[in-house]
Amino acid sequence: MIIYPAIDLRGGRVVRLTEGRFDQEKSYGDDPLAVAKDFATAGATWLHVVDLDGAKDPTKRQTALVEEIIQGSGLRVQTGGGIRDESQIAALLAAGATRVIVGSLAAKQPELVRGWLRQFGPEKIILSPDVRLDGGGTPRVAAAGWQESTGMALDDFLHSYLAAGLVHILCTDISRDGKLTGPNTALYAQLVKKFSPLQIQASGGVSSLDDLRALKATGSAGAIVGRALYEKKFTLKEALAC
């Protein structure tokens, strides 16, 4: 299982949001490149970067900063945040990104995004269905910065992309995000079992090394770790070792 330390960018700063809410922000420094270099020194091979400004307003994308982080850290980077057209994907790939994260648009315009999978190749695109559990426990895909529900069951969403060659997904349980309450391991275990062709990354709630061990036991291909590192619940070296 790959550990993906996370950097969320807002106004050039490193921040974390709670449940994706911009009014629930905590800042962790003004030098994201230095943070990325520290992750590399600790042994990371990958980095997860989200452009929160770009997610909110496409005219304020921080692509130049993302490129600086990629080139300066030497890490493989998966990055996104409000991706709305193929030119934004092309720009991030040209900046050196290994994968580009596509979120809400994958639920809202599936034909367009299936075309991107074929155009850029399944290794260059990672879909990030963010979910809330409904009253019956069914994960349903959210959109618009998690403020809306599409009503679509996660299983149906994933099945609709398999024929287009989908390989990588990053699934966040919104209710766990940024809260250090532990990941939804049952969700990821079910996904790995149902969708064995997919490389599934878990996101949301990691707060301890035991959480990472539990996610590894589910068969998840990766785990995003953010606030737990910044709040010093454990070190990245410890996470990689376990």
Domains and CATH numbers, the chain: 2-241 (3.20.20.70)
Q: Quote the pLDDT of residue 178.
A: 65
Contact assessment for residue 165 and residue 117, using Cβ atoms and an 8 Å cutoff? yes
> End-to-end CA distance of the chain, in Å?
10
Based on the residue annotation, tell me whether 8 is a catalytic residue of this protein: yes
Q: Quote the pLDDT of residue 66.
A: 98
| Residue from 182, 180, 200 nearest 191 by CA | 200
Considering 51, 53, 130, 177, which one is annotated as catalytic?
130
Based on the residue annotation, tell me whether 30 is a catalytic residue of this protein: no
Q: Quote the pLDDT of residue 146.
A: 52
| Residue from 186, 187, 233 nearest 206 by CA | 233
| Residue from 45, 98, 101 nearest 67 by CA | 98
pTM score: 0.93
Element (H, E) at 50: strand 46-51
The tens digit of pLDDT for each residue in 53-93 reads 998 888 899 999 999 999 999 999 999 998 999 999 999 99
Mean pLDDT of the chain: 92
**CB within 8 Å of 66: residues ≥ 6 apart:** 9, 49, 51, 77, 79, 92, 95, 97
